A and B are shown apart, each in its own frame.
Chain A
Amino acid sequence: MPSKAKPVYKGGERMKFIEMLHHKSHFSKTEVERLLQMLKQQCPNSPKIRMDRNKFNDFVHKNFEMTDEMIVDRVFRAFDEDNDGFINELEWVKGLSIFLRGTMEEKTKFCFDVYDMNADGYISREEMFHLLKNSILKPATEEDPDEGIKDLVEITLKKFDYDHDTRVSFEDWTKCVKEDSLLLEALGPCLPNLKTRNAFLELVSDAQHDTGMSISAQQKMKGKVTY
């Protein structure tokens, strides 16, 4: 883990790049540097600094306890803006920015993108069914297991579909989430939870680094006092 991040290139170009990333994200420059360092460590042998799907899976599993493969796959696609199957430095920082420090609007958009599987700007009934199909743990024995999920989809659709076109547009989605923030991840958890988020932020953020230092310093002090 990099406690001190060193820029890869000392050149001004690199600095500019970091500066650009800093503006496009919610991270400070040093934080950006740390994140980039981290990405580099994830892919030690590849010539380009980018992350492929498998590595991403491992990464979110390890750091954010996200296991649902389908959702993780969707998250990967949401990160991967240029659809080249890899997450490059820009996508990495921007994605994590939403992941860790995103505003409500950003998150709303992000979640919608995750759930909108075919990226047609609508979440259709079929997509919902796909997303929710694992959400009932113990279907009643006598009835068709799909029946319950279909029901659940109808309920969800009723909840979200403001304009009654049997699909959820981004407007519908934003409206609903604004009304009740609990619905942000309504179709499956696609953002890190509070605990893992804070844990991860601790690795990169400035504030945490400072306080982390001071706490350990305090502990040392205490040790002296007691002795």
Chain B
Amino acid sequence: MGQALIRAAQWTSAKGGSGGKLEFTKLNEELLNSIIQFVDGFSAKYPEETKLVFKKPLTWQTTVSPDAINLPGLEDRGGDKISEAKADKDVPLFSLKRDGSDFECSCMTMEYCEQVLRASGDKKMIELRACLEANRDPVANMLGERFATVEGDDNSIFRFIEEITKEIEQLAKQHAENEGNTEKQEEIEEKKLILKMRLILLRVDQQLLNQSIAQITKDVRLTPVMVDGEVSILQELSGDDERKHVLELIDFWGDGYVFKNGCRAPPQRQLHGDIAYIEVRPFDGNMLYITANTSGYYVNKGPDNRGDMNYEREGDAYRELVTLLKDKSAHFAEMIDKQEFHLKVQEKDDYMDARKVEEDEEDKESTAGYRPERTKQKTEEDSKDKGQKQKTQKKKRLEPSLKWKALGMEEYQEPDTRVEQKKLKKKKASPRMKSKTPIDAEDTFSESSTESEEEEEAVERRSETNADLPSEYWQIQKLVKYLKGGNQTATIIALCSMRDFNLAQETCQLAIRDVGGLEVLINLLDTEEVKCKIGSLKILKEISRNTQIRRAIADLGGLQTMVKILRDPDKDLKCLAAETIANVAKFRRARRTVRQHGGIRKLVGLLDCPIVSATNPEADKDAEVARSGALALWSCSKSKKNKEAMRKAGAIPLLAKLLKSPNENMLIPVVGTLQECASEPSYRLAIRTEGMIEDLVKNLKSQTDELQMHCASAIFKCAEEKETRDLVRQYGGLDPLVSLLQKTDNKELLEAATGAIWKCAISPENVTRFQELRAIEQLVGLLNDQPEEVLVNVVGGLGELAKDPPNRLLIRKAGGIPPLVNLLTGTNQALLVNVTRAVGQCAEEQDNMAIIDKLDGVRLLWSLLKNQNPDVQASAAWAICPCIENAKDAGEMVRSFVGGLELIVSLLKSEHREVLASVCAAIANIAKDEENLAVITDHGVVPMLARLTNTYAWKGSKFQSKVDDKLRRHLAEAIARCCNWGNNRTAFGREGAVAPLVKYLRSQDENVHRSTARALYQLSKNPENCITMHEAGVVQPLMKMVGSQDEDLQEASAGCIGNIRRLALANEKARYS
């Protein structure tokens, strides 16, 4: 209590010896309120302490009249009230005496204090204020001078505790000697009480202090810089599109003049603390005029007709503009929560370079529609640039408030939601920062999926206290001292000596950073001294293997300098710089920095070296340069945008040339880069057309595991395309791939090789070759104890191979089915998709099905329908189809799954077409069994199917996709099968499934025709449906289909027409008879 009152409470300066008064401020009010709360109810909480007699009474002028206080034990003495209980001699515990016109109150226990407060009614605050003003240190009064509040360290309480314990010990001793020393005991009891009281008061004190801190922090004042920051950020988020922007418009109100101090408000208003006026047009509501005052943002009454601002405040003041707007505009609040901010703080010196890059990027991304608008923007911006105003804008942009910065940092975390964000940012119409925004925004998610989170999580591990630093630390510190303070000679000696340390060791790496060596090393790169640069880069190259060092180098701007060095005539220097970049660019931001400073083009330039077989030192140097360039590009190529930039810079033909090199050291980074880039279709095409497949295949036979792995991985990615698969076969690549399966201890190699086999097996010709090479047996052998990454590819390969019937037999013979079924219990989604597919393929064979059934595979498949991932669901449903077809007693098996039928019907609510198609196919199979058909009818399969016919109705040939056709085919099939129960035919008619089905006949796909005709035939057995069909114009297309080559289709169409005709005949008969 004491500390809080002295430090936190705001006292007026003492005047005329009367002592200070408590100021009437919000803070004081809060404090007083808390104290009132504390006093009120004290006696209830602490019944003993409340009776504790104060050392000195608390005395103050009160407004409470004696009549108001009526307590037992109070004596009325001529208008004064005095308690009967006395502290000692004749000092009463409580007295209320008239003193002139006022009364003087004096209390000696908390009990009475509480009573007085209670009696004062609604004047509690005044009473307490008077009390505290009269007793500046109430604690001293209550508990004695020893507890008086002092500045600094207050250890009175500890001394007190010591005293008490000592006395208690003494007492205990005495107690043993002679009985009864009650007086002493009482004294101790009292002291204990005082101690308790003190502790209570201390707690209150602390509470009060905390409270006042909370108050004070709320009281942060605005500055012009902060206002500019907030407004400019919001400007970037505002625009015309209601769905994408938070505000329609936000700008400063007024003539745009900025005073020297940063304020925009007129000087006479600056006296009132106004900084600027902001006009905001939200999407929902009128124009808001907001005053940015030093005390916060608040809405004012806006300009009147003559354009003069009415400065009067309306409503509360807010600390942040965003909070205010959130309150005023619901749309803003909603959007601002949705927006993910990735406004990057652009470094100042980056600006020029960034602009250059930006031009490139614009060239690249401009589509026909965009171009004119963009260029206009640019010229606008350029002209603006000349003006000083622009400059100030830029500067301000560099200082968004901390909160926004923090938000900006989070940009890496959710790449998937970014796509939407991207469009949003692109179309941003806010005029000022526009040119910059698109790059920033796009960079964020330019990074491709191939990027792992390799080091985003790099944890900062600070070195411990100085005490246990290794001796290297001090030695390195000394060397760094010479680096800093020495001339070239000393620098080189220090650099060379530093390399004598084990730079691969983390202690040394971090020591260099911690003593500030990184800065010096990077600064050296900017000097003219080639030797210093070489020495520095040699160290940087080594220590940049450490993730923390990488980040530090990027933070210190080392990448920019190194990119510049790539143009240096000295080849050693180029090599080292590229190798260091290769090490540093292992995380996203660094890769982006390299690109934005034109590093990609320079690196690609390094690749250009003549391949000469003769070994002369000069050619070796060139090759070394190319190798290091490839190494750096390999690191950089993990970002999608960089791949694009590399392609633009003409990397592909150069890589193709280098791929012919006989040198494995060269090949590894080259192939590594290629396989990294092969995730892009453009590269896949180029790899094929530039004839690189042949070289890749050739290198599959290399002796180096790493090279083999990258080659296989490149083939894995490229073999998505049929032509590539054929090329791999033609160049004899399948044989080495299969032979790689022997290397079971190198998991990465195995992963790449099995992946390549998987993709290659998509082509039937390759399957034949694989058969000859006995790939199936080897793949099945890999099904046991391999990591999931390998298993995904192995199982994928088996799934593709099993499309060829003899292979299904081979899989069974090799004992592949039990492990496959076993894998159905896994959790890896990619693996599950592949496993279900493979199991489904195997189930096409009766004998295989028997094994699957015995292993309870169908139940496992069925349970995968509950998986979260739609791909898994669809794949499982597809796999179920052949199972039902080929299982013995399939109907019984299906029924045995409790809730299985209900589950599969409920999947018809899915929104994924592939899932729907697969489930329809499964339902068509299930419906072959009458009992099951009855069950699914009960589960409402008919209306759901009918609804789907409408949802995926035929919408004219433009909008057709293969997926839709697939869905329609199976949907019609399911309807055809479901007609066979009860009054389902009528039900389909009633649910309006007939007319849309008729339109399916217009599809291009024969399969759709067949199943639709079948469905129509079934439906036409109901006369009502015949009428609907006829009205929908079914006859003409059906007539065409009667002439089809497909017998099924012929039969179904003819049957349908027959039914319609029969109905017509019966009708006529009825009419005339």
Contact = CB atoms under 8 A, between A and B. Distances in A.
A binds B: yes
Interface of A: 132, 134-140, 148, 151-152, 155-156, 158-159, 180, 182-183, 185-189, 193-194
B488 A183 contact: no
A73 to B, nearest CB: 16
A143 to B, nearest CB: 11
A132 B490 contact: yes
B494 interface: yes
Given A182-B531, A186-B489, A189-B489, A136 B482 contact: yes
B496 A183 contact: yes
Contacts of B493: 132, 152, 155-156, 159, 183, 186
A159 B488 contact: no
Contacts of A137: 485-487
A89 B535 CA distance: 37
Contacts of A189: 488-489
Contacts of B486: 135-137, 152
Interface in B741-787: none
Contacts of A136: 482, 485-487, 490
- Nearest first, the 4 closest Cβ-Cβ pairs linking A and B are A135-B490, A135-B489, A135-B487, A138-B485
Contacts of A152: 482, 486, 490, 493
Interface in B481-518: 481-482, 485-490, 492-497, 499-500
Contact of B487 (A134, A139, A148, A159): A134
Contacts of B478: 151, 155
A158 to B, nearest CB: 7
A182 B482 contact: no
Given A155-B497, A182-B496, A185-B492, 18 more contacts: A132-B489, A136-B482, A137-B485, A140-B485, A148-B481, A152-B493, A155-B479, A155-B493, A155-B494, A158-B497, A159-B500, A182-B534, A183-B493, A185-B489, A186-B492, A186-B493, A189-B488, A194-B530
Interface residues of B, number: 23
Contacts of B497: 155-156, 158-159
B39 to A, nearest CB: 60
A17 to B, nearest CB: 33
A185 B493 CA distance: 10
A172 B534 CA distance: 23
A20 to B, nearest CB: 29
Contacts of A139: 485
Contacts of A140: 485
B530 A183 contact: no
Nearest to A128: B493
A132 B482 CA distance: 12
Interface in B868-923: none
B500 to A, nearest CB: 7
Contacts of A183: 492-493, 496
A52 B450 CA distance: 69
A185 B532 CA distance: 12
29 contacts: A132-B489, A135-B487, A135-B489, A135-B490, A136-B485, A136-B487, A136-B490, A137-B485, A137-B487, A138-B485, A139-B485, A140-B485, A148-B482, A152-B490, A152-B493, A155-B478, A155-B494, A156-B497, A158-B497, A159-B493, A159-B497, A180-B499, A182-B531, A183-B493, A186-B492, A186-B493, A189-B488, A193-B530, A194-B530
Contact of B496 (A132, A180, A188): A180
A45 B481 CA distance: 51
A150 B535 CA distance: 23
Given A136-B487, A138-B485, A152-B486, A182 B494 contact: no
A136 B493 CA distance: 12
Chain B, interface SS category:
helix
A92 B353 CA distance: 49
Contacts of A158: 497
Contacts of B481: 148
A194 B533 CA distance: 14
Nearest to B534: A182
Contacts of A185: 489, 492, 531
Contacts of A193: 530
Contacts of B570: 194
Most chain A Cβ neighbours within 10 Å, of B479, B489, B495:
B489
Contacts of B494: 155
Given A136-B490, A151-B478, A182-B534, A159 B485 contact: no
Nearest to B495: A182
Contacts of A132: 489-490, 493
Contacts of A188: 489
Nearest to A183: B496
Contacts of B485: 136-140, 148
A193 B530 CA distance: 9
Contacts of B492: 182-183, 185-186
Nearest to B531: A182
Contacts of A186: 489, 492-493, 496
A187 B496 contact: no
A152 B481 CA distance: 10
Nearest to A139: B485
Contacts of B487: 134-137
A185 B485 CA distance: 19
Nearest to A153: B493
A152 B500 CA distance: 15
A156 B495 CA distance: 11
Nearest to A180: B496
Nearest to A158: B497
A63 to B, nearest CB: 18
A182 to B, nearest CB: 5
A134 B487 CA distance: 8
A25 to B, nearest CB: 22
Contacts of B500: 159
Interface in B109-166: none
Contacts of B534: 182
A135 B482 CA distance: 9
Contacts of B489: 132, 135, 185-189
A152 B479 CA distance: 9
B533 to A, nearest CB: 10
Interface string B533-569: 0110000000000000000000000000000000000
Contacts of A180: 496, 499
Nearest to B493: A156
Nearest to A135: B490
Contacts of A148: 481-482, 485
A146 B210 CA distance: 56
B487 to A, nearest CB: 5
Nearest to A193: B530
Most chain B Cβ neighbours within 10 Å, of A155, A180, A186:
A155
Contacts of B490: 132, 135-136, 152
Contacts of B479: 155
Interface string B558-587: 000000000000100000000000000000
Contacts of A156: 493, 497
A138 B483 CA distance: 11
Most chain A Cβ neighbours within 10 Å, of B492, B493, B531, B534:
B493
Nearest to B494: A155
A159 B496 contact: yes
A53 B478 CA distance: 39
A152 B569 CA distance: 32
A37 B570 CA distance: 32
B196 to A, nearest CB: 56
B949 to A, nearest CB: 76
B725 to A, nearest CB: 50
Contacts of A155: 478-479, 482, 493-494, 497
Contacts of B482: 136, 148, 152, 155
A136 B487 CA distance: 6
A148 B482 CA distance: 9
A121 to B, nearest CB: 22
Nearest to A187: B489
Most chain A Cβ neighbours within 10 Å, of B481, B490, B499:
B490
